[in-house]
Chain A
Amino acid sequence: MAASAGYPGVSHTVWAGACVERPGRSLVFHSALLPEQLESLVTGELPESGAPSGHPELAVDPGPAVGVISGAIVEAQKRLPRGQFRARWVEFDQQVKIGRDGSVFGDRRSTRRFRLEGSLERGGRTATAVAERVVQSDNNYISSLVDETIERLEARLDAAPPVPGPTTVVFAPAIGGIWAHELVGHAAEADLVAQGSWLTPDIGGAHPGLTVIDDPRRARAAWNVDDEGTPARPVALFHEGRARERLHSCRTASDSGAKTTGHGRRGSYREPVLPRMGCTFIANGTDDPNEILQKVHEGIYVRRMESAHTDPTTGRAVFRVTDADRIVCGKLAEPLRLHLLETVGGKALAAIEGIGNDLAFDRCIGSCHRKGQPLSTSVGAPTFCTGLMTVRF
């Protein structure tokens, strides 16, 4: 659902489908099945055509969302008449049933997320800013969302170019979880580990206080049972300076003699299961977040990153930073223009200089793409500081 120029527009889609997968051999899928068509699907044949059985009862009502996004745009426009604002509401409700070994498991996954984007032009200078929320049951977040967007718009009018080259980086609470997702999470997905991951159990030199956990049950689009019917559980990927457990589907667990962890997911009913991250986060450390910042003589304070990619075999990762401030003598200075930050796994783990005690979780609309399969994922982190990142600008 999206809105611009005061005209709300709704794109509402309902779909249903099923597949039968024989891991390592075949997958047969079909959209909008009749129950009796499932039988032929199980035999590995495409079923005969027939009328669909209809869709599950809808839990998504677009009406209230239209009011929320229209209200947010009106309020933002009133507060900053020269700004241009767009809002986007994404909501889904998904019902899943999994049959395996004669048993049937079920899960229901849903989320509501709201994003407000603004742009501002003044005196030949331009700025853009974004604020997001995972929506709970009330609308009290709208004012704070508008506040946040306008505050960053005004600040970013004076954004300066960053200095290319090595730098120290402090990640604001929550956003550093993307660092953990890319560097640690992907390197712990068992199918990628089998192909050669940089994150080996004997890797040394990491900060002793670094603990990275993946717990799908607390993701934005949380799952309690994965797409193979396995209950999801938290997995410690990195703890006390060492790589620990991997993220497994049934297949990868069986291949490596490990226990499955409930991380087997499909991008849709058309795709095979892969081990995937749910909510990857860095656990709280013991450092005071203010002291972490004060210790940095010169560096970058990252507020927002919009995308990243990594090579799990080498650990090289590149992050696209869309909102950040310069740090000068332990204090926040001017905002910085969009730039990239690059790092490499082993060095990155060794370069952590402080982990705060203010763990927070992300609020963004985003997903992780792997092998052509998009999946809604979450991250979290306390404030933390790392050296040896390279600014590309």
Chain B
Amino acid sequence: MSQSDHWKTDSDVAVETVANLLEKTSNDHGAGPVEGFHRSSMSRRVTWDRSTGEVCSRTGVEQGGAVRWIDPRRDALGFAAASGGHQAAFETCRSIAAGVPPKPVNTCPWNAEAEAVEDVDVSTGSPSLEEMEDWLRKNTSEAVDSAWVEGATSTETWLTGAGNPQIRVRGRAWAMMAPGKKAGTGVKPLFLAARSWHALLRLDPSGAWRDRAAGEGRKRSWPDDARVVFSPETSAFLARMLAATMHHPGASPGAPVGPGWVLTARPEDDPSSLFGSRVDDAGFPSTSRILADGRHVTGDWGGPGSLRRASFRDAPEPVPVSLRMDPPRLDPPKRSVWVSRIDLNPAGDRWIAELHGRRFPDGAAFRPRWVRLRPNRLLETCLGGIGSARGSHLGMTTPALVFDAWSLRED
């Protein structure tokens, strides 16, 4: 863990750089509030490929900055970004920003009396190449054709014209395992993510591979009257899609949900969440909100505290991350279908879905089932969860979710 430390941007330097930028940009735009953002990251990835037997490394540094500013005459926002970690890059930003028209916005804490925040993840630090190669050796079973593991650290700094710098330092670890033919056809890659390298070491991918198994023997017809249990991995995907659709900003509260649909947005520093932090990517304080209580939809995930930047190149937008499902726990149903894979294609108010499942608990395989799902019906028919909640790379923490058989029935 040596080279990454060298590349962490010194917080004082970053704050000074952004402050210089803001001073000049403010002069260009009169009294309009301006925000500067800077991000510096160092990442290291090791890749393994079964067909060649090669182990390759990828190491790099990326730095960039962005400015947003308000046009007070139009109550509108402009945004520009440039790579590079120093004043010259911000000068490029500033010259672009001065020449482009702004768009409306109501989500900047320009005048907020925000406190200066220093949000430093104590577990930052990237693993060495040897540690990552060792991880790959231990975790690539016969079902895996290729894989990578990555460690990254980042330092992010915000500063508005009002001052109050906010600094965030993070370390994250990711892994991907692409299945080969022995895993079955159509099986998607498995992604793992953790808040630190040491947390990634504690994850056991073998459980996820077992969850994804298609089942053995002759393919049977899917029973219409059995409860449906989604594996933790497919539950995370499905619940995040449902949250994006049914709890989007502006969604009206009050819609009925089943007893299992208990959803909370926990953008604050939740140890189980990959994306948690004390402030969002626009500088708003993060606060927990209950989005559904097992009876009704009670809220949405948008607004201040939910804004995220995909990279320094992108302006912050509301994103449903750091969500947690806390349904009442159920005993495994005696007669149910265990869904190991789901493909969803939104089509108007329904989703065209392909489901792969097996009989629970004996594992007998069912034929893939195509079905048109109604998101609101899925919410209404969510009964509970099985097992402990697991985090995922999608920002959704959930156990295996149980749905009534009616959830898949078409009108």
- Residues of A participating in the B interface, judged by any CB pair closer than 8 Å: 3, 5, 7-17, 19, 24-32, 46, 49, 51-52, 54-55, 58, 62-63, 66, 164, 194-196, 270, 272, 311, 313-314, 316, 318, 320, 337-340, 392-393
Could you tell me if B79 and A11 are in contact, using CB atoms closer than 8 angstroms?
Answer: yes
Chain A positions within 8 Å of B63 at CB level = 31-32
Given contacts A272-B58, A316-B186, contact A340 B88 (CB under 8 A): no
Sample 24 A-B pairs with CB under 8 A, ordered by A number.
Answer: A5-B104, A9-B77, A9-B102, A10-B100, A10-B101, A12-B97, A12-B100, A14-B83, A15-B83, A16-B83, A24-B56, A25-B54, A26-B58, A27-B58, A29-B59, A46-B42, A46-B61, A51-B86, A51-B88, A54-B88, A62-B99, A63-B99, A195-B51, A320-B345
| CB of B103 within 8 Å of the partner chain | yes
Q: What total of chain B residues lie within 8 Å of the partner, measured CB to CB?
A: 55
- Interface hits, B38-79 → A, CB 8 Å: 42, 51-52, 54, 56-64, 74, 76-79
B350 to chain A: closest CB distance in Å? 9
Could you tell me if B101 and A66 are in contact, using CB atoms closer than 8 angstroms?
Answer: yes
| CB of B118 within 8 Å of the partner chain | no
Other than the given A11-B81, A32-B64, A338-B347, 12 more pairs (CB < 8 A) read A5-B104, A9-B79, A9-B102, A10-B80, A12-B97, A13-B82, A51-B88, A52-B84, A194-B51, A314-B185, A340-B345, A393-B347
Given contacts A9-B77, A46-B7, A272-B56, contact A14 B61 (CB under 8 A): no
Could you tell me if B370 and A392 are in contact, using CB atoms closer than 8 angstroms?
Answer: yes
Chain B positions within 8 Å of A63 at CB level = 99-100
Could you tell me if A24 and B54 are in contact, using CB atoms closer than 8 angstroms?
Answer: yes
Residue in A13, A26, A337, A339 whose Cβ sees the most chain B Cβ within 10 Å: A13
Complex: A279 Cα to B97 Cα, angstroms: 34
A26 to chain B: closest CB distance in Å? 5
Complex: A340 Cα to B370 Cα, angstroms: 11
Could you tell me if B61 and A30 are in contact, using CB atoms closer than 8 angstroms?
Answer: yes
Complex: A316 Cα to B343 Cα, angstroms: 14
Residue of B nearest to A126 (CB): B348
Could you tell me if B51 and A19 are in contact, using CB atoms closer than 8 angstroms?
Answer: no
Residue of B nearest to A11 (CB): B79
Q: CB-defined interface of B82-100 with A at 8 Å, one 1/0 digit per residue?
A: 1111111100100011011
Chain B positions within 8 Å of A196 at CB level = 181
Q: Which of B97, B185, B348 contacts A313 (CB 8 A)?
A: B185
| CB of B145 within 8 Å of the partner chain | yes
Could you tell me if B82 and A15 are in contact, using CB atoms closer than 8 angstroms?
Answer: yes
Chain A positions within 8 Å of B343 at CB level = 318
Could you tell me if B370 and A32 are in contact, using CB atoms closer than 8 angstroms?
Answer: no
Could you tell me if B101 and A32 are in contact, using CB atoms closer than 8 angstroms?
Answer: no
Chain B positions within 8 Å of A27 at CB level = 56-60
- Interface hits, B140-193 → A, CB 8 Å: 145, 181, 185-186
Q: CB-defined interface of B322-348 with A at 8 Å, one 1/0 digit per residue?
A: 000000000000000000000101011
Could you tell me if B89 and A52 are in contact, using CB atoms closer than 8 angstroms?
Answer: yes
A85 to chain B: closest CB distance in Å? 16
Q: Which of B42, B58, B62, B82 contacts A14 (CB 8 A)?
A: B82
Chain A positions within 8 Å of B313 at CB level = 13, 15
Complex: A136 Cα to B42 Cα, angstroms: 40
Could you tell me if A13 and B54 are in contact, using CB atoms closer than 8 angstroms?
Answer: no
Could you tell me if B85 and A32 are in contact, using CB atoms closer than 8 angstroms?
Answer: yes
Q: Which of B54, B56, B100, B347 contacts A62 (CB 8 A)?
A: B100
Could you tell me if B60 and A29 are in contact, using CB atoms closer than 8 angstroms?
Answer: yes
Could you tell me if B181 and A337 are in contact, using CB atoms closer than 8 angstroms?
Answer: no
Shortest 7 CB-CB distances between A and B: which pairs? A9-B103, A32-B84, A15-B83, A29-B60, A52-B84, A10-B100, A338-B347
Could you tell me if B315 and A15 are in contact, using CB atoms closer than 8 angstroms?
Answer: no
Chain B positions within 8 Å of A28 at CB level = 58-60
Complex: A24 Cα to B58 Cα, angstroms: 11
| CB of B295 within 8 Å of the partner chain | no
| CB of B3 within 8 Å of the partner chain | yes
Complex: A337 Cα to B372 Cα, angstroms: 13
Residue of B nearest to A41 (CB): B60
Chain A positions within 8 Å of B315 at CB level = 11
Residue of B nearest to A390 (CB): B370
Could you tell me if B56 and A10 are in contact, using CB atoms closer than 8 angstroms?
Answer: no
